[in-house]
Structure 1
Amino acid sequence: MNKLYEVIIKEYGYDEPVFTKELKKRIDMSDEALRQNVKRLSDIGDLIKVKNGIYYLPRASNILKKPRVNIDKVIRRRYIKPIDKNVIGYISGTNFANQLGLTSQTASVPTIVTNEAGRLEYEVTFGKKVVKLKKPRIKINDQNYKLLQVLDLLNDYDRVSEIPLEKGSSLIKKYLQNSNITISELNQHLKKYPRKTLENVIEMELYNELA
């Protein structure tokens, strides 16, 4: 069995997003050898290309049916939570407000704030799915992503929420439960946001929750 194929099965499994960028760190192989092996597996159908640098192993019984990897999973692994790594991004905008129950609306083009964004704001396409990427105000990690997600929400609250902040604040506070956010951290992060974000933080009495 091909050495690269064995590594992919062991580390990822079938129908899971496989990023060549990650593979370089998981296998002792030169860049050229990796490219040749990826091409060889792709040519014989053992490895299916989703997009440049992104592949997956189809289950043998499904090859003739031309299966497709879950695109949402590809996007999550690429921009939000890579396998075996820290959080690097989060859903923002209307779709996050919808997750919290603040609106019944959803955006056809979801917004993801991610450390992987190379520019301030732009769109990428995966098959037929379009995603808007935004650069974070502060580098995202496991500890701060929920706070940054909420601060982004509060900055755009009037635009993305269907209910007033007075009623929506309880849903936001519930989301932040067990996040271990300190007042000091909140103040540090707020320095990167417009004044209206601070005003909404004060209105929803978030400081009282952290005191």
Structure 2
Amino acid sequence: MNKVYETIIKNYGYDEPVFTRDLKKRIEMSDEALRQNLKRLSDGGSLIKVKNGIYYVPRENSVLRNPRINLDKVITRRYMRTSNNKVIGYTTGINFANKLGLTTQTASVSTIVTNEVGRPEHEVKFGKKIVKLKKPRVRIDARNYKLLQVLDLLNEFDRVSEVPLENAVGAIKIYLNDNDCTSSELNIFIKKYPRKTLENLIEMGGVL
């Protein structure tokens, strides 16, 4: 069996996004040799290329003539949660407000705040799906991502919510039920945000 294919199956399995930059860390091979192996596997149908640097292994018994990977899964793995479950980003904006029940609207272009971005803000395209990426004010990890999501929400609350702030407190508290960031961490984070965020936090009664 091809060494690259064997490594992919062992570490990722079928229908899971495979990023070449991650694959390089799992296999001892020159960049050129890896590129040639991936091209050979892709040309032979063992791998399917989503876009440059992103592949997946289709299931052998797929009934689809041209099987497609779930693009939401690709986006999640690339910008929010890695294959080893490391949190590197989160959704924000109207779609997050919708998740909390604060609006009935949804945005066709999702906004993701992620560590995996260099510029403050730009858009990327996966097939027909467009995603807006934003640089975080604080580096994201598993402990702080929910709190940062809520601070982002408070920063743009008037734009994304259809309910008044006092009616959103309950949903926000439930969402942060398992948050274990300390008050001192919150004080550090809040300094990275505009004054409006602090004002909304105070109006909520500082329930975070």
TM-score by length of 1: 0.95
1:59-78 matched pairs, under 5 angstroms: 59-62=59-62, 65-78=65-78
1:14-93 matched pairs, under 5 angstroms: 14-62=14-62, 65-93=65-93
1:181 CA displacement: 2.1
- Partner SS for 2:140: coil
Matched-pair identity in %: 69
2:161 corresponds to 1:143 = no
Structure 1 runs of 4+ with >3 Å offset: none
How many residues of Structure 1 are paired with residues of Structure 2 in the alignment?
208
1:57-206 matched pairs, under 5 angstroms: 57-62=57-62, 65-206=65-206
Which stretch shifts more, 160-169 or 30-39? 30-39
1:29 CA displacement: 1.5
Provide the C-alpha distance between the structure 1 equivalents of 2:20 and 2:179, rounded to a whole number of angstroms: 33
Which stretch shifts more, 197-206 or 54-63? 54-63
Higher helix share: 1
Deviations 1:35-76 (A, max 9, x none): 111011011111100010000011122276110010000000
Provide the C-alpha distance between the structure 2 equivalents of 1:142 and 1:178, rounded to a whole number of angstroms: 11
RMSD: 1.2
Provide the C-alpha distance between the structure 1 equivalents of 2:64 and 2:7, rounded to a whole number of angstroms: 24
Provide the C-alpha distance between the structure 1 equivalents of 2:120 and 2:155, rounded to a whole number of angstroms: 17
User: Residue type of the partner of 2:192?
Assistant: K
1:142 CA displacement: 1.0
TM-score by length of 2: 0.97
Deviations 1:73-117 (A, max 9, x none): 000000001111521100000000000111110000000000111
